[in-house]
Amino acid sequence: METGRILIVDDEEIMRESLTDWLKEDGYSVDAVEDGFKALEAVQKEKYNVMLLDLKMPKMDGLEVLKRVKEMKLDIPVIIVTAYATVDTAVAAIKQGAYDYIVKPFHPEELGSIIKKIIEHQNLVKENILLKKELSHRYQMQDIIGKSSKMQAIFELIRTVAPTKSTVLIEGESGTGKELVARAIHENSLRPEGPFIALACGALPQSLLEAELFGYEKGAFTGAVSQKKGKIELADNGTLFLDEIGDIDAKTQVDLLRFLQERTFRRLGGTEEIKVDVRIIAATNQDLKKLVNEGRFRDDLYYRLNVFTITVPPLRERKEDIPLLVNHFINKYRIETGKNIEKISESALQILMEYDWPGNVRELENAIEHAVIVNEGPIISPKALPNFCYATKSESKPTKEIEKSLQEIEREHIISVLLSTKCNISKAAQILGINRVTLYRKIKEYNINLDELKF
């Protein structure tokens, strides 16, 4: 039994009735109209899965109806059903975007199978969209991607804290995506339409940082030729994201503390107390508690900031997210570069999985961007990956080696040497201290694909 809504457009009553009766037996919901004008009215009012359109009709012929439907940019497949078949009209109909063209009377199987195919395809597309939505809801929050339990826990924390007004402290190594977490909190807050203003505190000297934060009045200092609003003021009714908060100097720490307590501030050189409604999200890649203990960060400011802490894990602690992230970045850079890259090869992905990613997701993104640019063909091969993916892998060997068998170590060492010699067998054999025949035997034995290793 089928489900779907079909519009029949035919000037002959007997045709409309006959088609309607037949399609209803299949379980379709059917509407039938006698001319093109009524058809155009109907498609604007209702959503149909398929339109069965007669070609020869008075007032407006089928080709004109088809043309107007296409002009209306309605996503409705049109099947031309006609008793007057000529090659010319069939070609014209298909050229104008008809899905198919069939001649009345037709074999009972013919039209039924075309309609079934269309609706099955529409259902698949719908299902695909739903699945993608579900997937994106589960594994993605704004621009943060992760299916690992650690990232799922982060998503939950974001959902919990976002609708409150609490100050949030985000901890995590460089490149883990702290700003993305801050943006996700803002987007899920009660005022996502408000401004999201980011300031990298570590990038600015003290005097400039203060001016950037609080703004200044005309003449406040040399070069202050006109009044300028600071980031705090610009973030009014929104979120201010202070990155690298551990880098701010003692004077700015005091000013910031005062602002967090009073929620008012003065522009540099100004006397007016300005009140703003700003949510502060701070981030650091340093151990703030340690800085407090060392006397380099005010403890009162630390406690003001540390109302709700989110610790973003480094990529090496959530390696199960690498394939998902890799796909995401491949898609991103495929669109940006216009290159026809479909996916990454198993062996290249394996290399990425084994690397420790000290630069975290940012480093992974850079690696994929590099690979998409240099790769030849639709599948990213190991040779398209940047050199560092291999270098650090061998550097990090000692910590892992204890868990590996002798054969695994031998295989990895052979791959390393082959990579360093650009697959020059004679050179590699020389470095390894074995002859070429033995090296070939081992390459075969360990199932090493030379083509994938060649640069």
Give the footprint of other proteins on this chain (CB under 8 A): 1-2, 12, 14-15, 17-19, 21-22, 24-27, 81, 104-109, 111-112
Residue given tokens 């007004």 in the structure block = 165
Q: Rounded to the nearest 5°, which phi and psi values hold at 160?
A: -70, -45
Q: Which two tokens stand for residue 67?
A: 């043309």
- Contact assessment for residue 7 and residue 36, using Cβ atoms and an 8 Å cutoff: no
Nearer to other proteins, 90 or 204 (CB): 90
Task: Name residue 378's amino acid.
Answer: P
Of residues 22 and 446, the one with the C-beta less far from other proteins: 22
Full DSSP string of 418-450? HHHTTT-HHHHHHHHTS-HHHHHHHHHHTT--H
- To the nearest whole angstrom, how small is the minimum distance from the Cβ of residue 90 to other proteins? 18
* Cβ distance to other proteins smaller for residue 81 or 168: 81
Q: Tell the smallest beta-carbon distance from residue 46 to other proteins (Å).
A: 21
CB of 125 to other proteins, least distance (A): 21
Closer of 105 and 219 to other proteins (Cβ) = 105
Q: How far is the CB of 27 from other proteins (least distance, A)?
A: 4
CB 314, CB 154: distance < 8 Å: no
Q: Give the CB-side neighbour count of residue 142, counting CA atoms within 13 A.
A: 19
For the record, the structure tokens of 288 come out as: 């703030």
Q: How far is the CB of 15 from other proteins (least distance, A)?
A: 5
Query: Which amino acid makes up residue 50?
Result: V
* Cα distance between residue 60 and residue 25, in whole Å: 30
Give 382's DSSP letter: G
CA nearest to 154, candidates 127, 128, 185 = 185
- C-beta closer to other proteins: residue 107 or 444: 107
Which one, 28 or 265, has the nearer CB to other proteins? 28
Evaluate whether 100 touches 52 at the Cβ level (below 8 Å).
no
Strand 215-216 to 228-229 pairing? antiparallel
CB of 349 to other proteins, least distance (A): 41
> Please, what is the minimum distance in Å from the beta carbon of residue 124 to other proteins?
17
Nearer to other proteins, 15 or 199 (CB): 15
